[in-house]
Structure 1
């Protein structure tokens, strides 16, 4: 695959083309409700701070127009002292308000991230099959983080700034109506510019989020596949792909910033023009005795205060557009409903014996591409069943449906007579032990990984499980034994060691139904003999379904189901199927017999 086609494939992301939706903003605000006391305290403090601040220019006007002409030193001293006290109160109010709003913002961001992560864990595997992990990580981390400033400061500030504007307008009109109209003359120009820029800003920041998601997805994929990259000497090619994606992200960011930064020159120009008009008309009015110097200076100060809230409100709208681009992406995930979930009448599956029955089950991952076709079989409690067949025949799909990772399109699956769609997922999977083909080891210690299915297991239980699957010996040879850190995905362990640990994890769960998906596929022959002994102990008294390519596992099964083109074409034990000289016989002669000892 050439660089261009690879880049285009990676760049694909979930398009979000909805118009700005205020209902989503209201939905975002609902996360503030549990912390509304912080918001209320901060709002009251900011009202006080605004009143302290607005009193300053009025005091200056009185000093210039009354105290200075009359040389009233006492009046000047009292007003100056009062001004200092107001300033200290203003600073103190801002400080306390910052503490409250920081707590609110951090708590809300944490809640949103928790809500998003909790929801992700409920989504069906189909969701993760179709989305790179890197793009999901961007939603949980970057997009949620981008809301922090909006929630910590901007929402409260815009309320206070709106209130400040109202106070300033009332004060200015009460002092001088004509001079107020001159000061507000340039406002329509600013409003037109804001309306012109708003859609462009939102679209460009949405594009930035998409490109960031794409870049993170490629980085995640590259790190996960580093061994393959180095093995096939793909470093230069991958570097070129990364360079292109990084350049696209940089250029997209710069386009967004350029539109973003049009706000500030516009506001600065409008504010400067307004101040110039105030002084020009103010001087003209002073010459004719219509106003005083103190009034003109007070107006100049109030206009400085007036443009600050305008600046802040414009900045808020700017931040809102940026944050809503992330909010839309967060809620897009939260609005996805899992394909597999508990029904409204779901009940807990009672302790089971382990009878499994498939009744005319059909399933496909994609329409018009059936994987299973009217599959019907019954497994008795305590029976060990082996599933064999060529790659893609539907073996793994059968166990995925049994664990309800997916639901069949037709038919039903029963355990001890209970339709698994009618029981809760938790109670169903709690009674299963599953070891999948893709052995996953989490970062942490060896003991943590074995204990993953049973967090409250004692160390004695952990060691017992490890000894049963013959993992204890190699674990004890590690520097810290069971407390040895194994790194992400168990990178310091061999494939066989990872499988042994995963096998101990399944054993520790003490399941009634055991599922092993090619659990011994990467274990050497000597280790497999030891594991086979553990499997025989583990499967005793349990219903077991095993997918394996090793003859020893298949030969010891009570029954073997031969899967071909999504159907069970043969059924019986090893000897019976060989005597039929059918699919199993052909599969055995072409593959299994070479593993015979």
Structure 2
């Protein structure tokens, strides 16, 4: 039994060679991906601009009560001034910004209680104690710790609105810009998400198509060694994992990095000390992330293994449902599935537990960073050495700083899965086909049908010979049958003629040409095979006859179906040739499937026809139709039959008897009976069983 764990072993989280190869598939779409990168840079810029706009609104247009105001009697040049009572006021950030060399007047807005006062002069509100008193209708600001006072006036609501008119307009502009950026960000996010997912799906479509085409070209020996379920997983699940990598990691990682870099630069430029203090939590973040990556890698691998067990169990039970019902194993199989299902649940609970610790721990660290900012930055705001808007912006930026870290940590799993999936996919793509077209093929359109085996030795595994030194010749137009016990090598001869496998010794000739020198398409087009177990594809009757061969017209298809006696039962179906065929042709009888197989084989008008006991397990009426179809099919063609019932091959020109991989007898039916050898014993055995 296959070890389920084998295919779920995870490799390195990042492999530069694998990544370079994955990026090569993205090369045809580099303009789209570059556009996505540019868009995410713009989106990152928009995300970073939001807190900064709020900072500007607070510091420059809302919180103006502790700032010096330059007063001009004429409109100053190159300065944005507020016109109030025939004077021009210019608000500065601090006293250092005021031009000390000029003889301009300095004023200040002060909020005292619920009132706003315009003071002629500047007072450091953070370090001074003061009170405003009214004397004879005039307001005086007295400093308690200094022997100074300033004249002022109380502003009415209308005067405040007039004085702050420009501030209100500026705040509205900032609000509009902020809202506009949100809308632009939404549209860009939509466009980027759509374009990126479209591009990633196109890339994965190409990978999936290349993988499927490559697998179709592999020999049957490859499929003998590789379970179909595993190959289906490669083409579906593994390529889907790559789609997640292209859409969620490849480009969006740029945004996370830009956000991190942008936050660091902006925070350092706004206030170096506060920024460095905020970065104290970074070592704790790195430690928590490293622990998370180690733990989640182990749990993730366990989850994948348990999921593989569930898929394997489902596949076995659904495929073998008939056997389950026959032996009444429903309860036992349900218990087995319940065991795997609960193990999968427990593995998922472990994964949830790890995430439930990691994500809150990131929130704790984020809160710690915010607490540090409030503690240190809030004190500086009170002391007047830090603007309040800067503090608000720092809190927003520290939140943005943690989001990419969470994203990058979770994308680690996707990247790890993508590396494992790509390694398995590329291992298949790098595996060369055992059966390849000749480098210098013999160009022929059709074959006459003369077949010759010369000293042919063949083994499926090393030197465990299935055929040993086989020599025979079949002339064009002859009908030949191969008989022998199970495992004698009958089916192997058919497989070798079609080059499903290559021989180790000797040569196989058709019309005197080594089949290794004939193009595979030409060879297989000229050999029609009707197997005992007919495989039907999901689709329609028409689809299963033509097999996507567009060169055959509908009229020709119906003519062929009528020729092999399939037309009658098809006409009785509700949709006739468009009747849906379920998986493996489960809605059709064995005889109907056999007749469709004859029509399918005849569609390409082959020179050689191979029949693998076409009448086994068929009712008498259908057998007569099939026998009539066989007689028509073999006319003018070289026909080879693998016989299980000797009564069906007595009229063949030659009968070849295989025994333990060797050709032991050859001749007509009567000649072989007279020899009283292996064929004679087989005939006597079947004859006795029929009595």
Same fold? TM cut 0.5: yes
Asked if the contact 2:278/2:372 (under 8 Å) is kept, the reply is: yes
Q: What is the CA-CA distance between 1:509 and the residue it aligns to?
A: 2.0
The corresponding residue for 1:246 is 341
Q: What is the CA-CA distance between 1:590 and the residue it aligns to?
A: 0.8
**Is structure 2 residue 41 aligned with structure 1 residue 47?**
yes
Q: What is the CA-CA distance between 1:581 and the residue it aligns to?
A: 0.6
Q: What is the CA-CA distance between 1:455 and the residue it aligns to?
A: 4.2
Asked if the contact 1:469/1:534 (under 8 Å) is kept, the reply is: yes
Q: SS state of the match for residue 195, structure 1?
A: helix
Query: CA separation in 2, counterparts of 1:437 and 1:334?
Result: 32
Query: CA separation in 2, counterparts of 1:275 and 1:390?
Result: 82
- Residue among 379, 395, 411 paired with 2:474: 379
**Is structure 2 residue 115 aligned with structure 1 residue 121?**
no
Deviation string for 1:215-266 (max 9, x for gaps)?
3333233323322322232322322332233333333444444445554233
- Residue among 430, 455, 460 paired with 1:365: 460
The corresponding residue for 1:406 is 501
In structure 2, relative to structure 1, the CA distance for the partners of 1:212 and 1:114 (3 Å cut) is: farther
1:100-499 pair list within 5 angstroms: 100-287=195-382, 289-346=384-441, 349-452=444-547, 454-499=549-594
Deviation string for 1:538-588 (max 9, x for gaps)?
222222211022334321111111010011011111111111111111111
The corresponding residue for 2:80 is none
The corresponding residue for 2:24 is 30
Q: What is the CA-CA distance between 1:288 and the residue it aligns to?
A: 5.0
Deviation string for 1:280-333 (max 9, x for gaps)?
121343455542222222111111222222222222223222443433443343
The corresponding residue for 1:561 is 656
Q: What is the CA-CA distance between 1:357 and the residue it aligns to?
A: 1.9
Q: What is the CA-CA distance between 1:10 and the residue it aligns to?
A: 7.6
Unaligned runs of 5+ in 2: 65-163
Q: What is the CA-CA distance between 1:345 and the residue it aligns to?
A: 4.2
* Bigger strand share: 2
**Is structure 2 residue 55 aligned with structure 1 residue 61?**
yes
TM-score by length of 1: 0.91
In structure 2, relative to structure 1, the CA distance for the partners of 1:261 and 1:346 (3 Å cut) is: farther
* Bigger helix share: 1
CA RMSD of aligned residues (A): 2.6
Unaligned runs of 5+ in 1: 1-7
Asked if the contact 1:453/1:505 (under 8 Å) is kept, the reply is: no
Q: What is the CA-CA distance between 1:403 and the residue it aligns to?
A: 0.9
Query: CA separation in 1, counterparts of 2:344 and 2:258?
Result: 39
Query: CA separation in 2, counterparts of 1:346 and 1:24?
Result: 36
Query: CA separation in 2, counterparts of 1:263 and 1:257?
Result: 10
Structure ID, larger Rg = 2
TM-score by length of 2: 0.79
In structure 2, relative to structure 1, the CA distance for the partners of 1:257 and 1:368 (3 Å cut) is: farther
Query: CA separation in 1, counterparts of 2:670 and 2:40?
Result: 84
**Is structure 2 residue 514 aligned with structure 1 residue 520?**
no
Asked if the contact 1:209/1:326 (under 8 Å) is kept, the reply is: no
1:3-18 pair list within 5 angstroms: 11=4, 13-14=6-7, 16=9, 18=11
The corresponding residue for 2:630 is 535
The corresponding residue for 1:19 is 12
Query: CA separation in 2, counterparts of 1:411 and 1:449?
Result: 36
Most deviating of 430-439 and 411-420: 411-420
Q: What is the CA-CA distance between 1:207 and the residue it aligns to?
A: 4.3
